């Protein structure tokens, strides 16, 4: 590759320096990009605190997404669990925005399991779709959730898809690449007039589609494979292997729902209690100010209900005897 020695060397160096500078910037300032990144980057500290806590305390880890973050009153839960078990509670949480079972599986392994920060109890907060296997963004998984040790597993799951593998590898190595998707919304939502409304309209129309086609949602539903819960099964398997107790908690949504049958079967197989009261809760819209997440009053109401359900669980549901 003789030409690399001389051709356009200054231009290429300029590009390398530009991208290198931005990479450094991305690494230094990524926590300022969003609360979510800040939360993800705080996970090693969260895990370290959990690890350092005395074993006499009940170490509880909440795993979920923004539904769990907004839908569970952490302090009330902590006090309730302490009252139920008679032990002081060390509460930690991993609930990045928009995450689901893939992120929870790899994130738990990277930040908690492989660092020896094992909780006694994991509470997985979910709604209907979050525990089902779904196409995950391999770059996001690789950059923020997957340890180097788990990278081969993540890559092998891409079934030889060169695009997905390349993106995962690039994102694992470059924070600039991993965060590339954050720039566009930042610029467009703030600077382009009408962008929010347009994207919402287009998303709705795409889902609705034309009457003859039955819409994108209908076609996705038609093409979607049968519900699979491989990731959940792997995560529960990891808990079982390490003697970590778990429970699944259905977080209320504006409309009542039922957890998928396959999730209930898998939980049953792993002897994991499912507290699905939240799924059936019909709360007034005022408890969902943004139409999706519970507000503080709703969270308190739900956590109280949850603690009543927890109260009924046998004593060995909280930690290995």
Partner 1 sequence: MWFNSFGFWLFFIVVALVYSRLRLAGQNRWLLLASYFFYGCFDWRFLSLILFCTVLNFHAGLRIAEAEDEKKRKFWIGWSIVISLFVLGIFKYLGFFTREMSALLQSAGVIHSPWVVELMLPAGISFFTFHALSYTIDVYRRDTQVSRSFVEFALFISFFPQLVAGPINRSTLLLPQMGRERPACDERRFREGLYAIVTGLFLMVVVADNMAWLAGHVFNSDPARLGGAEVLVGVYAFAFQIYGDFAGYSSIACGTACWLGFDLMENFRRPYFAISPQDFWQRWHISLSTWLRDYLYIPLGGNRSGRWGTYRNLMVTMLLGGLWHGAAWTFVVWGGIHGLWLAVHRAFGGAKKKTGQPTPGWLVVVKWAVTFHLVCLTWLMFRAETFSQAWALLLRLGSGWEWTAFVQTSVSLIGFFLLPWLLFEAWLEYKKDDHALLKTSWIWRAVLYGYLVLMMLFFPPPIPAEFIYFRF
Of these, 120, 167, 245, 293, which contacts partner 1 (CB under 8 A)? 167
Q: How far is the CB of 161 from partner 1 (least distance, A)?
A: 9
Query: What residues numbered 19-58 form the site for partner 1, per CB under 8 A?
Result: 19, 22
What's the closest the beta carbon of residue 223 comes to partner 1, in angstroms? 16
Q: Whole-number minimum distance, CB 217 to partner 1, in Å?
A: 15
Nearer to partner 1, 193 or 321 (CB): 193
The residues pairing with 247 across neighbouring beta strands, listed in sequence order, are 123
Residue 18 interacts with partner 1 (CB under 8 A): yes or no: yes
Which of 148, 183, 204, 217 touches partner 1 (CB under 8 A)?
A: 183
Q: To which residue do tokens 């979050």 refer?
A: 130
Q: Interacting stretch for partner 1, rule CB under 8 A, among 6-14, 119-127, 217-225, 267-275?
A: 6-14
Name the segment binding partner 1 (CB under 8 A); options: 7-15, 109-117, 232-240, 267-275: 7-15
**29-51 burial string, b = 16+ CB within 10 Å, else e?**
ebeeeeebbebbeebeebbeebb
Asked if 226 interacts with partner 1 (CB under 8 A), we say: no
Contact set for partner 1, span 133-162 (CB under 8 A): 162
**Segment 184-223, which members bind partner 1 (CB under 8 A)?**
184, 188, 191-195, 197-199, 201-202, 205-206, 210
Q: Smallest distance, Å, CB 64 to partner 1? A: 27
Residue with smaller CB distance to partner 1, 7 or 226: 7
**Should residue 11 be labelled a site residue for partner 1 when binding is judged by CB under 8 A?**
yes
# chain residues binding partner 1, by CB under 8 A: 37
Long-range contacts, stretch 23-28, CB < 8 angstroms, 24+ apart: 23/174, 23/175, 23/176, 25/176, 26/174, 26/175, 26/176, 26/178, 26/179, 27/175
CB of 195 to partner 1, least distance (A): 5
User: Of 209 and 277, which has the nearer Cβ to partner 1?
Assistant: 209
Nearest CB to partner 1, comparing residues 3 and 282: 3
b (16+ CB within 10 A) / e for 182-197: eeeeeeeeeeeeeeee
Binding status of residue 14 toward partner 1 by CB under 8 A? yes
Nearest to 235 by CA among 226, 244, 222, 224: 244
Task: Please give the torsion angle defined by the CA atoms of residues 63, 308, 233 and 269, in that order, rounded to the nearest 10 degrees.
Answer: 170
Residues at the site binding partner 1, with contacts judged by CB under 8 A? 1-3, 6-8, 10-11, 14-15, 18-19, 22, 162-163, 166-167, 176-177, 180-181, 183-184, 188, 191-195, 197-199, 201-202, 205-206, 210
């Amino acid at each position: 590759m003789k030409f690399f020695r001389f051709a356009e060397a200054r231009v290429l160096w300029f590009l390398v320096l530009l991208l290198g500078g931005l990479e450094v910037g991305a690494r230094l300032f990524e926590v300022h990009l969003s609360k979510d990144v800040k939360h993800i980057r705080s996970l090693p500290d969260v895990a370290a605190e959990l690890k350092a806590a005395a074993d006499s305390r009940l170490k509880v880890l909440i795993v979920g997404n923004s539904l769990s973050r907004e839908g569970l009153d952490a302090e009330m839960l902590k006090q309730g669990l302490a009252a139920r078990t008679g032990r002081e509670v060390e509460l930690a949480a991993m609930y990045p925005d928009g995450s689901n079972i893939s992120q929870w599986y790899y994130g738990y392994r990277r930040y908690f399991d492989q660092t020896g920060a094992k909780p006694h109890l994991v509470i997985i907060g979910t709604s209907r779709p979050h525990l089902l296997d779904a196409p995950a963004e391999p770059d996001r998984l690789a950059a923020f959730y997957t340890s180097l040790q788990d990278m081969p597993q993540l890559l092998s799951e891409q079934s030889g898809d060169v695009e997905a593998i390349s993106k995962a590898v690039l994102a694992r190595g470059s924070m600039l690449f991993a965060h590339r998707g954050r720039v566009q919304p930042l610029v467009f939502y703030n600077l382009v007039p009408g962008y929010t409304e347009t994207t919402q309209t287009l998303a709705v129309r795409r889902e609705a589609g034309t009457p003859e086609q039955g819409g994108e949602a209908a076609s996705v539903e038609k093409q979607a494979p049968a519900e699979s819960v491989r990731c959940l099964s792997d995560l529960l398997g990891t808990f079982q292997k390490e003697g970590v107790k778990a429970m699944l908690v259905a977080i209320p949504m504006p409309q009542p729902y039922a957890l998928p049958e396959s999730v209930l079967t898998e939980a049953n197989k792993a002897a994991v209690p499912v507290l699905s009261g939240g799924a059936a809760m019909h709360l007034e819209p005022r408890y969902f100010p943004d139409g999706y997440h519970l507000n503080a009053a709703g969270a308190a109401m739900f956590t109280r209900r949850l603690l009543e359900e927890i109260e009924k669980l046998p004593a060995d549901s909280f930690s290995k005897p």
